[in-house]
Amino acid sequence: MAQHEHVRVAVIGSGFGGLGAAVRLRREGITDFVVLERAGSVGGTWRDNSYPGCACDVPSHLYSFSFAPNPDWPRTFSGQEHIRAYLEHVTDVFGLRPHLRFDAEVKRMAWDAEALRWEIETAAGTFSADVVVSATGPLSDPKVPEIPGLDSFPGKVFHSARWDHDYDLRGKRVAMVGTGASAIQIVPAVQPEVAHLTLFQRTPPWVMPRVDRAISAAERRLHRALPFTTQARRGLLWGIRELQVQAFTKRPDELGLVESLAKRNMARAIKDPALRAKLTPDYRIGCKRILLSSTYYPALARPNVDVVASGLSEIRGSTAVAADGSSAEVDAIVFGTGFHVTDMPIAERVVGADGRTLAETWKGGMEALRGASAAGFPNWMTIIGPNTGLGNSSMILMIESQLNYMADYLRQLHVLGGRAALDARPGAVAAWNHKVQERMKRTVWNTGGCTSWYLDASGRNTTIWPGTTTEFRRATQRVDLAEYDVIRPPLPSGSGSGSDMAGAEVGA
CA–CA dist 93, 70 (Å, integer) = 12
User: What percent of the chain stands above pLDDT 70?
Assistant: 96
pLDDT confidence tier of residue 254, bands split at 50, 70 and 90? confident
Q: Which helix (H) or strand (E) holds 437?
A: helix 426-440
- pTM of the full structure: 0.93
Tens of pLDDT, residue by residue over 282-325, are 999 999 999 999 999 999 999 999 999 999 999 999 999 999 99
The candidate with the shortest Cα–Cα distance to 336, out of 201, 189, 197, 179, is 179
pLDDT for the residue 494: 53
pLDDT confidence tier of residue 392, bands split at 50, 70 and 90? confident
Task: Please check the confidence at residue 77 and state whether its pLDDT lies above 90.
Answer: yes
- At 284, the amino acid letter reads R
Task: Please check the confidence at residue 2 and state whether its pLDDT lies above 60.
Answer: no
Instruction: Answer whether 276's CB lies under 8 Å from 424's CB.
Output: no
Q: What is the mean predicted confidence (pLDDT) over 395-415?
A: 97
CA–CA dist 296, 214 (Å, integer) = 20
Q: Which helix (H) or strand (E) holds 380?
A: strand 380-382
Task: Please check the confidence at residue 159 and state whether its pLDDT lies above 60.
Answer: yes
CA–CA dist 504, 493 (Å, integer) = 18
pLDDT for the residue 490: 86
User: What percent of the chain stands above pLDDT 90?
Assistant: 87
* DSSP-derived pairing of the beta strands 156-159 and 173-177: unpaired
Task: Please check the confidence at residue 500 and state whether its pLDDT lies above 50.
Answer: no
Angle made by CA atoms 433, 439, 440, in degrees to the nearest 5: 85
Instruction: Answer whether 284's CB lies under 8 Å from 298's CB.
Output: no
CA–CA dist 353, 380 (Å, integer) = 11
CA–CA dist 440, 459 (Å, integer) = 12
Strand runs labelled E in 113-195: 117-122, 125-134, 156-159, 173-177
pLDDT for the residue 78: 94
Instruction: Answer whether 248's CB lies under 8 Å from 242's CB.
Output: no
Q: For 34-72, give one letter per residue: b (16+ CB within 10 A) or e.
A: bbbbbeeebbbbbbbbbbbbbbbbbbbbbbbbeeebbbb
Task: Please check the confidence at residue 384 and state whether its pLDDT lies above 70.
Answer: yes
Pick 40 or 1 by higher pLDDT. Answer: 40
Pick 496 or 453 by higher pLDDT. Answer: 453
Half-sphere exposure of 355 (CA within 13 A, CB side): 0
Q: What is the mean predicted confidence (pLDDT) over 127-152?
A: 94
Instruction: Answer whether 380's CB lies under 8 Å from 118's CB.
Output: yes
Q: What is the mean predicted confidence (pLDDT) over 25-54?
A: 97
Phi-psi region of 53 (alpha: psi -120 to 50; beta: other; left: phi over 0): left
* Distance from the Cα of residue 131 to its chain's centroid: 22
CA–CA dist 245, 452 (Å, integer) = 18
Q: What distances in angstroms separate CA 484 from CA 28, 92, 288, 373, 506, one per listed residue?
A: 22, 36, 35, 10, 7
pLDDT for the residue 503: 40
Burial of 148 (0-12, 13-18, 19+ CB in 10 A): exposed
Half-sphere exposure of 486 (CA within 13 A, CB side): 20
Arithmetic mean of pLDDT over the chain: 93
Instruction: Answer whether 275's CB lies under 8 Å from 100's CB.
Output: no
Helices (H), 289-383: 296-300, 358-361
